[in-house]
Amino acid sequence: MLDSKIPAGKLQNKWDNYKDRCKLVSPANKKKHTILIVGTGLAGASAAATLAELGYNVKSFCIQDSPRRAHSIAAQGGINGAKNYPNDGDTVWRLFYDTIKGGDYRSREANVYRLAQISNQIIDQCVAQGVPFAREYGGLLANRSFGGAQVSRTFYAKGQTGQQLLLGAYSAMSRQISTGKIEMFPRREMLDLVSIEGKARGIIVRNLLTGEIERYTGDAVLLCTGGYSNVFYLSTNARNSNVTAAWRCYKRGALFANPCYTQIHPTCIPVSGEYQSKLTLMSEGLRNDGRVWVPKQPGDKRHPNEIPEAERDYYLETRYPSFGNLVPRDVASRNAKQVTDEGRGVGETGLAVYLDFRDSIQKLGRETISDRYDNLFQMYQRITGENPYQLPMRIYPAVHYIMGGLWVDYNLMSTIPGLHVLGEANFSDHGANRLGASALMQGLSDGYFVIPYTLGNYIATTDLPPVATTHDAFAEAEAAVKEKTNKLLNIKGNKTVTEFHRHLGHILWDYVGMSRNKAGLTKAIALIAELKQEFWQNVTIPGNPDTFNKNLEFAGRVADFLELGELMARDALEREESCGAHFREECQTPEGEAQRNDEDYSYVAAWQYQDQDRTPLMHQEQLEFANVELTQRSYK
């Protein structure tokens, strides 16, 4: 079931071997095929633009009113590429190794090396599109450092890199919309996958403005719907980000891989009250010039500018002298939790640490810091009312990115033939922890450079007779969608969708958050089962199905989150080791670092849906490391 289809040959040659030998679709035949692409973030927009440019007919779907509003715009800090412009020793191999190590040796070597190889092509492509990357005085693109690396390989456009990259992909996409090769369907939400003769051949969507259920058919489906961090209720993701499209595919037979791997980002504006619906990310790029610290004495509530240097603990610099403030995200997050647990947290809640730019401003000048980060500083000041040029920022870890997702092979194809999964929606490249500035890299790699080959190979080697939306499989899928919708609307309980979602988020953060243990995970599974039962008996959803209805949208997503949350806890319970962002308290070194168990857990856990009343079945894809040595990860 889990054939990863990794090409033969040396690691450095696998992708070239694949491209040399894969089957192609001729230009005349490409125009005979229709591809359905769900999602218009960097993975979806780049795939749509590229495939349409090649001649395929593309139908593109997004839940926003425009592809420009996809959540990729929120990735502020930068995108990695092994160009070595600073001449500081970077290579494709180093980017590969840093990514494998950063993920704590829980990702496929072949996929990660391909990503590192393609990284340089991505930068060239985006420059050609006019993405306004920062430049050095000599004209070369500028680089900044990010966590988990000792070289500067992150290309950036101030603090809005994701937005600029998405505008580049959107411009390419718009060109194809104008030619008629891309048909755009905004404000649609995918609610089911249609398989015919075992192949993905269509989707069922809801028109979010009219409530109408619509059917669409194609020769392949590309799922580019991002991550599911909003299962925690409070996260750095946009409120519309959800798991529904991927979860409905899981229920149709696509395996779900490593759902417990959740990235906690250390650089977020802290929670300030129960009224919040989301959290705001401050870019990891800020850790280049900001120093993280807390008071040395517990309970020290003095104004930060009144605490002298001798009474400050720059704990990351002390504990990790080789990397300092640029340790990977999981390491920085756990250390922030540790110092706040010791009573040394700052701010009214005590759940924050300082990110201080005082020394960098004195050394480099305010103008230099402003050139690098001013839009981020402005955003922080608008939200908190505090000026980071004068006071240290207050930050704390928050749920940010998901390393788990639908299982895919080297072709980016799921266990359902024809269903390809790109970007954050798949599990493939980041292992147990994603390094900063790698999300944008993966999304564009998958869309611009990988899927044109792998999709062509699938179409050229697969019998795809025409199918119509009148096929019985479409009728069955649409009936299932309507049945679930009516079931939700007929509950007529007393608690709102938001109350259930917030309650689920508390359970997951408390027991499946920055640290986990056997007792807590067992409790979480029981609590979520109780909450799920209550949801289906007591949720209230006003309105009706055949019109604009945000409550109905959110209810369907929370219903899926409840099931996903249970699977996340179950996956974390099964993995009795610590790796990356999956930190089991029972499995740590004497220094408090994550301790892997390579002998028993060097595998991808891929879960198969059984039915509502049966426990999902776990399959294992064994990970093989022929090119890197499995060592205890250290950033000291």
> Is there a contact between 621 and 603 (Cβ–Cβ < 8 Å)?
yes
Contacts (Cβ under 8 Å, ≥6 apart) of 18: 7, 410, 453
φ, ψ of residue 635 in degrees (nearest 5): -120, 20
Structure tokens at 605: 């856990």
Structure tokens at 243: 């798991």
> Is there a contact between 105 and 431 (Cβ–Cβ < 8 Å)?
yes
Structure tokens at 497: 């969708």
For residue 144, give the DSSP letter: B
> Is there a contact between 291 and 307 (Cβ–Cβ < 8 Å)?
no
Question: Catalytic residue at 329?
Answer: yes
> Is there a contact between 404 and 428 (Cβ–Cβ < 8 Å)?
no
Three-state DSSP class for 47? helix
**Residue 341 CB coordination number (10 Å):** 12
Chain length of the chain: 636
Q: How crowded is the C-beta side of 138, counted as CA atoms within 13 Å?
A: 5
φ, ψ of residue 373 in degrees (nearest 5): -135, 10
Catalytic residue among 329, 557, 570, 575: 329
Instruction: Please give the Cα distance from 259 to 359 (Å, whole number).
Output: 40
Instruction: Please give the Cα distance from 61 to 425 (Å, whole number).
Output: 15
Instruction: Please give the Cα distance from 163 to 152 (Å, whole number).
Output: 21
Structure tokens at 624: 């093989």
Structure tokens at 25: 């679709």
Chain centre distance of CA 580: 15
**What is the b/e burial string over 88-106, where b = at least 16 CB atoms within 10 angstroms of the residue's CB?**
eebebbbbbbbbbbbbbbb
Structure tokens at 178: 């104008």
> Is there a contact between 335 and 319 (Cβ–Cβ < 8 Å)?
yes
Alpha-carbon distances, residue 523 vs 337, 488, 528, 581 (angstroms): 22, 27, 9, 20
Instruction: Please give the Cα distance from 103 to 213 (Å, whole number).
Output: 40
What is the set of active-site residues? 329
